[in-house]
Amino acid sequence: MGNVSSVTNLGRSGVADWLMQRVSAYVLALYTVVLLVFIIANPGLGYDAWAGLFGQTWMRIFTLMALFSIGAHAWVGLWTVTTDYMKSALPRFLVQAACGLTMFVYVVWGIQILWGF
pLDDT digits (tens, 9 = 90+) for 62-108: 999 999 999 999 999 999 999 999 999 999 999 999 999 999 999 99
Query: DSSP string spanning 47-115?
Result: HHHHHHHHTSHHHHHHHHHHHHHHHHHHHHHHHHHHHHH--SHHHHHHHHHHHHHHHHHHHHHHHHHHH
pLDDT category of residue 14 using cuts at 50, 70 and 90: confident
Is residue 2 domain-resident?
Answer: no
Is there a binding annotation on residue 85? yes
SS3 assignment, position 13 = strand
Is residue 96 assigned to a domain? yes
Domain range for 39 is: 7-115
We report the CATH number of the domain holding residue 45 as 1.20.1300.10
For residue 1, tell me if it sits in a domain. no
Q: Is the pLDDT confidence value at 116 over 90? A: no
State the pTM of this model: 0.80
Q: How many domains does one find in the chain?
A: 1
pLDDT digits (tens, 9 = 90+) for 39-67: 999 999 999 999 999 999 999 999 999 99
30: closest CA among 58, 2, 52?
A: 58
From the list 115, 77, 67, the residue with the least C-alpha distance to 99 is: 77
